[in-house]
Structure 1
Amino acid sequence: MQTEKVTKHIVNWLIEYATKAGVNGFVIGISGGIDSAVTSTLCAETGLKVLCLEMPIHQEENQVSRAQEHIAQLKERYTNISSKNINLTTVFDAFDNLLPDEASSDKVALSMANTRARLRMSTLYYFAGIHSLLVCGTGNKIEDFGVGFFTKYGDGGVDLSPIADLMKSEVYKVGEYLKVPESILKAKPTDGLFGDSRTDEDQIGASYDELEWAMKMIAQGKTVDEFDGRAKKVIEIYLQRHKANKHKMVEIPVCKIPEELIN
């Protein structure tokens, strides 16, 4: 990958999109992970206004510290950065306490994890509305179009997605080029939605390098029966996730009414 040229291409795309939309810039949630760090730095490179939001909900301390380190670095390097810390923990707890216990603990845990992402999405759009900003997505290609590892109408609820055509490994390359903090480059990826230290790999069962490989194999027309051992297992994980989360990656289905039933 021609990292410098790819970076400049994304920055120019962001500028063009924001200009056509007639907005002041971008608002983005900062998690302490590589995707939000790279995306926010790309937005900073545009010279347009960038509002970085920390939105902790029972967050692990190392995630909070990495987010704060990144925002501090952005403010040192760029003059168009502002930030706010909106602690959503009490809002999340209040909502949690209102809900009846109607399902297994695993299903409740997953549903509440997705609720965290949706509370953050609502917060981002609040600030986008009052400051005339676009909500900038942080999803990469393997998450958004491979295994669907994001929350529908949560972190998937955005106005534009500047890194969604980059594999996770390519996001890291852009991050190195943009001089993202070393602590973020070295941290194991996590969605931070469960209030503990579980990583993305813990949840998915495969690393991003493995998933990227599987995505490429499927794109080449390979089938699961052509592999064995760990390779077969990774392909199975990829296909299962892709199938289960396909509804996130396609347009919302609309029931079309036949003309003869209307006229």
Structure 2
Amino acid sequence: MSDIQSIIVREMKVKPQIDSQEETESILQFIKNYVQSHEFIQSLVLGISGGQDSTLAGKLCQMAVESLREEGRECEFIAVKLPYGQQKDADEVEDALEYIQPDRTITVNIKPAVDQSVASLKEAGIELTDFQRGNEKARERMKVQFSIASNTSGIVIGTDHSAENVTGFFTKYGDGAADIAPLFGLDKRQGKQLLQYLDAPQHLYDKVPTADLEDDKPQLPDEEALGVTYQDIDDYLEGKQVPCEAKAKIEQHYVRNAHKRELAYTRYTWPKN
């Protein structure tokens, strides 16, 4: 491994391989410990997209709250459907919910709020690109989840994992915003491994990953947007050698999107020259 790859692997906490049972139990215990250390928490809130990451996080959250209730701590899992109008993969969202069996499901159509925000900006002389409108959708979805969490004395669960984190493939203060991120430390194939272990329907973990935020590029695969495959990203994070072109692309994403992994600086925390 090169020096920079070693640094990134350490930061992303990815193991070369995982034991499915041990990893599942570790994540469940982390969620439970966080809830138990905060008396106000009565709910876990997560948007369900029908993709691998939210399906896995949702299943783990439901398992965690059921375990907490068995131990005498009242807590519920609230799954949130957040379509922008008519969602193209709505059937897969329903399949994911059927698999997760959440305590409660809430549906909020974000289209009116997003469209009004875009229109208001346009009236002010700011016309957003299609990519920027996609970020509006991601931030509106997260805003809704935090509103539900506030209303139900809860916290918002993030789906960010290390293959996504290293590339910065998330919207800053959108899907990148959450109270806890239990999937961090896993790469994409390890998330799939856990869903297989947890008996998820195969089509949910074999689904082509897509953020599906851009109107001009519906269902754009993540790998096409990133310019590198998840296989190469996962291999890189597991400390394996990858093709030079893929290595360069991953490290380019890592450096360029470093700001997304940082909290807001103050005059006391900005590195001095």
Does TM, scored on the shorter chain, surpass 0.5?
Answer: yes
Q: Which amino acid aligns with 1:110?
A: F
Whether 1:172 and 2:192 are equivalent positions in the alignment is yes
The Cα offsets for residues 96-155 of structure 1, whole Å up to 9 and x where unpaired, read as 22223656xxx71221111111001110011101111110000111112x1111111001
Cα distance in 1 for residues equivalent to 2:192 and 2:100: 17
Shift of residue 37 of structure 1? 0.2
Q: Which amino acid aligns with 2:58?
A: S
Instruction: Give the 3-state SS of the residue equivalent to 1:44 in structure 2.
Output: helix
Give the TM-score normalised by structure 2: 0.82
The counterpart of 1:235, out of the listed 247, 250, 256, is 247
Q: Structure 1: which 4+ aligned runs deviate by more than 4 Å? A: none
Q: Is the 8 A contact 1:59 1:192 kept in 2?
A: no
Aligned to 2:260: 248
Aligned to 1:261: none
Q: Which amino acid aligns with 1:121?
A: M
Cα distance in 1 for residues equivalent to 2:247 and 2:203: 31
Instruction: Give the 3-state SS of the residue equivalent to 1:142 in structure 2.
Output: helix
Instruction: Give the 3-state SS of the residue equivalent to 1:56 in structure 2.
Output: coil
Question: Which has the larger share of helix?
Answer: 1
Aligned to 1:5: 22
Q: Which amino acid aligns with 2:100?
A: L
The runs of 5 or more residues in structure 2 that have no matched partner are 1-17, 67-74
The counterpart of 2:120, out of the listed 98, 113, 116, is 98
Q: Which amino acid aligns with 2:29?
A: N
Q: Which amino acid aligns with 2:168?
A: G
State the percentage of identical aligned residues: 24
Q: Is the 8 A contact 1:25 1:133 kept in 2?
A: yes
Whether 1:111 and 2:132 are equivalent positions in the alignment is yes
Whether 1:207 and 2:229 are equivalent positions in the alignment is yes
Shift of residue 61 of structure 1? 1.8
Cα distance in 2 for residues equivalent to 1:123 and 1:30: 13
Q: Is the 8 A contact 2:187 2:237 kept in 1?
A: no
Shift of residue 60 of structure 1? 4.2
Aligned to 2:88: 61
Q: Is the 8 A contact 2:54 2:159 kept in 1?
A: yes
Whether 1:70 and 2:96 are equivalent positions in the alignment is yes
Cα distance in 1 for residues equivalent to 2:249 and 2:87: 27
Cα distance in 1 for residues equivalent to 2:31 and 2:91: 28
Instruction: Give the 3-state SS of the residue equivalent to 1:251 in structure 2.
Output: coil
Instruction: Give the 3-state SS of the residue equivalent to 1:69 in structure 2.
Output: helix
Aligned positions, number: 238
Quickly say closer, same or farther: Cα 1:30–1:131, change in 2 above 3 A.
same
The counterpart of 1:160, out of the listed 180, 184, 188, is 180
Aligned to 2:162: 141
Whether 1:37 and 2:55 are equivalent positions in the alignment is yes
Cα distance in 1 for residues equivalent to 2:117 and 2:153: 28
The counterpart of 2:206, out of the listed 156, 174, 186, is 186
Tell me which of the two structures has the higher relative contact order, counting C-alpha pairs closer than 8 angstroms and 6 or more residues apart. Answer: 2
Give the TM-score normalised by structure 1: 0.84
Shift of residue 252 of structure 1? 2.2
The runs of 5 or more residues in structure 1 that have no matched partner are 258-263
Cα distance in 1 for residues equivalent to 2:237 and 2:100: 33
Q: Which amino acid aligns with 2:263?
A: E
